[in-house]
Amino acid sequence: MNYEETLDYLYNSTPLFQHIGKDAYKAGLENTYLLDEHFGRPHHQFRTIHIAGTNGKGSCSHTLAAILQAAGYKTGLYTSPHLVDFRERIRVNGIPVSKDYVITFVEEHRAFFEPLRPSFFELTTAMAFHYFAQEQVDVAIIEVGLGGRMDCTNIIRPDLCVITNISFDHIQFLGNTLAQIAGEKAGIMKEHIPVVIGETTPETKPVFIARSKEVNAPIHFAEEEQLLQTSTTNDEGRRIYQTMDYADLEGELGGLCQLKNTNTLLSAIRLLKQTGYRMTESDIRKGFSHVCELTGLMGRWQKLQDKPTLVCDTGHNVGGISYIVEQFKLQKYQQLHIVIGMVNDKDINGVLAMLPPNAIYYFTKASVKRALPEKELQHLAMQHGLGGNTYPDVKTAVQAAQENANKNDFIFVGGSSFIVADLLKFHV
Q: Give the chain's domains with CATH numbers.
A: 3-295 (3.40.1190.10), 302-427 (3.90.190.20)
Distances (CA, A) of 308 to 337, 372, 388, 406, 408: 10, 28, 19, 6, 6
**Side-chain half-sphere CA neighbours of 179 within 13 A:** 6
- The pLDDT-based confidence of 257 (bands split at 50, 70, 90) is confident
pLDDT tens readout for residues 204-229:
999 999 999 999 999 999 999 999 99
Per the prediction, the chain carries an average pLDDT of 92
Asked which of 190-194, 230-234, 317-321 is least confident by mean pLDDT, the reply is 317-321
The DSSP result for 198-233, as a single string, is: ----TTTHHHHHHHHHHTT--EEEHHHH--EEEEEE
Across 311-333, b (16+ Cβ under 10 Å) vs e yields: bbbbbbbbbbbbbbeebbeeeeb
Distance CA 92, CA 108 (A): 22
**C-alpha of 389 from chain center:** 30
Note the pLDDT of residue 316: 79
- The pLDDT-based confidence of 19 (bands split at 50, 70, 90) is very low
Distance CA 388, CA 398 (A): 13
For residue 19, what are the contacts with CB-CB under 8 A and spacing of at least 6?
11, 368, 369, 370
- Would you say how long the chain is, in residues? 428
* Closest to 56 (Cα-Cα) out of 194, 166, 183: 166
**Side-chain half-sphere CA neighbours of 145 within 13 A:** 27
Distances (CA, A) of 116 to 30, 34, 122, 132, 196: 10, 9, 10, 23, 35
Helices (H), 116-199: 120-134, 171-174, 178-185
pLDDT tens readout for residues 240-251:
999 999 999 999
What's the pTM value of the predicted model, to 2 decimals?
0.91
Distance CA 161, CA 414 (A): 29
Mean pLDDT score, 262-274:
97
Does 173 score more than 60 pLDDT? no
- Kindly report the backbone phi and psi dihedral angles of residue 235, in degrees, each rounded to the nearest multiple of 5, phi listed first: -65, -25
**Side-chain half-sphere CA neighbours of 67 within 13 A:** 28
pLDDT tens readout for residues 309-325:
999 999 878 888 988 99
Distance CA 291, CA 256 (A): 16
pLDDT > 70: percent of the chain: 95
pLDDT tens readout for residues 101-133:
999 999 999 999 999 989 899 999 999 999 999
Note the pLDDT of residue 54: 87
pLDDT tens readout for residues 290-314:
999 999 999 989 999 999 999 999 9
Distances (CA, A) of 201 to 21, 142, 182, 233, 381: 28, 25, 10, 28, 29
- Which secondary structure element, helix H or strand E, spans residue 239, and what is its range? strand 239-243
Does 370 score more than 60 pLDDT? yes
Note the pLDDT of residue 20: 42
- Cβ proximity of 164 and 54 under 8 Å: yes
